[in-house]
Amino acid sequence: MDLQTVVAAYHDLLDEASARDTFQRLDAAIRRRGMLVGKNRDRLVCEVLRPRFIVPSQYAVLQPASELVGRAIQKVGAACLTDETLLAPYALTPVERELLAMDPGYMGAALFGRLDGFLAADGSWCWFVESNLESPAGIAYEDALVKDFLALPVMQAFIRDYPVQVFTLWKRLHALLLDAWRVWSGPAANAGSVPNVAIVDYRSAATWPEFEFLRDRFRAAGTPTVVVDPSELSYDGKQLYATIPGQASLPIGLVYRRILQHEFLARSDLSHPLVRAYADGRVCVVNPWRSKPVHTKLIMALLSDAENSAATLLNEAEHAAVQAHIPWTRQVRPGPTTYQGERVVDLLDFVLRNRDRLVLKPNDEYGGSGVLLGWEASEAQWRGALAAALHGPWVVQERVPIPQEEYPTWRPETGLQIAPRNVDSDPCVFGAGLPGGLPIQAAGCLTRIASTALLNVSAGGGAAPPTFLLTDGEDDSFQAVLYSANGG
């Protein structure tokens, strides 16, 4: 099945009138859900009129690659807990080390996350450039937009000729959270029982509407769920409680932690009720407060450099996946290294001479903050960024190809336009895959598109259309993780 043919077939269904109608329907649905992004929360999370399509040959590469790379990340993350050689480059603060040492009650540095990467249109290659395994956003937006697109007349006409399947990621997340709680609870968990769940982040978070979407879905699935600010949590030494103004206090057994660790530590300390209850083993928290080694940029450097001890932790399949799907990445520091099998005398000199094929990234930032693309930077900018990178954990990574696809838009001032956008591919990873822990599974593909090489929606630089898997009716290997567009 050819992707370009599929895309052209969808675009052929659009004319000026149907494009205007499609935009108006999407605009109303997205605004009704509050799914607005950008620094001022004034942009639609999806402003294009077509969803992302992937074909079976692409997913057949993406899914196993992300599962193997995810397992490799988890192995190295677990080793960081006891191997100071692996942990030292992160330059953790004493408070971060205390959090890392707290036992979450289950195996793994994280149980849910997203790998950010790029996938060839024909499935011939796939690169993962970042590991987002702390508190990734997007799956609720994805599931909401799936429903909105399936309600469009143009999409209904399209799927009559091109059947699609969609990823029910919120259901997988819900199941994973309950599985983690049952492992954490041990024999005390009664069969069929469920905890009260608190989704925790600051009320100022731009993604608050996503939390409310998940809350409503979890409740409909039979799991009592609230969305709370950290200030609305209390702990009496035995039980964590959530108290929303005007409502009775609710005992909480499971926290879906959406609050980022570095943002939390900028406002609170280890005496916070959430941390004390977690440390005392009185509440299950997913992801745990030990996810930093697997979600910052350094994990890609640890995996990419075959000369460090991380390489010895991987089996043959994991090692092959790392070599095939993680680009050359190194921590920025002086000294020798290797590049494409050749010895490099000094990394810093190599970085200075090869900026047209390299990217500099701060280790613990998100939303594209601080990332410098060498081919878009001047020599002075590149030298300045490299000098700054020596004062804190940064990585340098080799440039990878960025696929492009055409996407339609409609605006009152321009009408229907179809233009190329850069496209990334971000599969979700559930579980840790460690001995004695929850098995690891990769599923789905979140998508971000942009006209620039830096694809980031939260910073206002792109859009996040939902992803649909095309099916030719011959391969049913995806049925276990997907559902028909005509079903539920």
Q: Which of 238, 237, 229 is nearest to 198 (CA)?
A: 229
Q: Which of 252, 113, 109, 258 is nearest to 172 (CA)?
A: 113
pLDDT in the model for residue 487: 40
**What does R_g of the chain's alpha carbons equal in angstroms?**
22
Angle in degrees, CA 219, 220, 223, rounded to 5: 35
> Six-digit token pair at 329?
């990445």
- Side by side, the strands of the sheet bearing 52-54 are 52-54, 467-470, 164-167, 482-484
pLDDT tens figures, 138-165 = 899 999 999 999 999 999 999 999 999 9
Q: Are residues 384 and 478 in the same domain?
A: no
Specify if 323 maps to a domain: no
Share of the chain above pLDDT 70, in %: 94
pLDDT in the model for residue 367: 65
Q: Are residues 67 and 146 in the same domain?
A: yes
Distance CA 252, CA 233 (A): 9
Q: Are residues 123 and 91 in the same domain?
A: yes
Residue type, 36: L
Last residue of a domain, one of 366, 383, 398: 398
Specify if 157 maps to a domain: yes
Range list of H helices, 38-168: 56-80, 84-87, 94-101, 139-150, 153-161
pLDDT in the model for residue 175: 96
Domain of 366? 328-398
Q: Are residues 394 and 434 in the same domain?
A: no
Q: Are residues 358 and 411 in the same domain?
A: no
Q: Which of 145, 150, 154 is nearest to 21 (CA)?
A: 154
* Residue that has been written with the tokens 């409680």 in this structure: 241
Cα-Cα-Cα-Cα torsion 202, 206, 212, 217, nearest 10 degrees, comes to -120
Quote the number of domains for the chain: 2
Specify if 192 maps to a domain: yes
* Residue 286 pLDDT class (50, 70, 90 cuts): very high
Specify if 122 maps to a domain: yes
pLDDT tens figures, 175-224 = 999 999 999 998 877 667 899 999 999 999 989 999 999 999 999 999 99
Q: What is the DSSP string of 358-425?
A: EEEEETT--TTTT-EEGGGS-HHHHHHHHHHHTTS-EEEEE-----EEEEEEEETTTEEEEEEEEE-B
Specify if 305 maps to a domain: no
pLDDT in the model for residue 473: 60
Distance CA 176, CA 445 (A): 17
Q: Are residues 409 and 381 in the same domain?
A: no
Distance CA 400, CA 384 (A): 23
pLDDT tens figures, 133-144 = 999 988 999 999
Terminal CA-CA length for the chain: 25
> Six-digit token pair at 216?
């409503």
Instruction: Give the torsion sign (CA, 24, 25, 26, 28).
Output: positive
Last residue of a domain, one of 365, 398, 431: 398
Specify if 315 maps to a domain: no
Distance CA 122, CA 245 (A): 53
pLDDT tens figures, 67-120 = 999 999 999 999 999 999 999 999 999 999 999 999 999 999 999 999 999 999
3-state class (DSSP) for residue 19:
helix
Q: Are residues 159 and 265 in the same domain?
A: yes
Distance CA 233, CA 466 (A): 34
Distance CA 408, CA 337 (A): 45
Q: Which of 442, 106, 85 is nearest to 290 (CA)?
A: 106
Specify if 322 maps to a domain: no
Supply the CATH number for residue 380's domain: 3.30.1490
Beta bridge partners of 419: 407
* Residue 479 pLDDT exceeds 80: no
* Residue 453 pLDDT exceeds 90: no
Work out the average pLDDT over 429-433: 94
* Residue 18 pLDDT exceeds 80: yes
pLDDT tens figures, 41-51 = 788 999 999 99
Beta bridge partners of 396: 330, 360
* Residue 317 pLDDT exceeds 90: yes
3-state class (DSSP) for residue 8:
helix
Last residue of a domain, one of 365, 381, 398: 398
Q: Are residues 256 and 192 in the same domain?
A: yes
Specify if 161 maps to a domain: yes
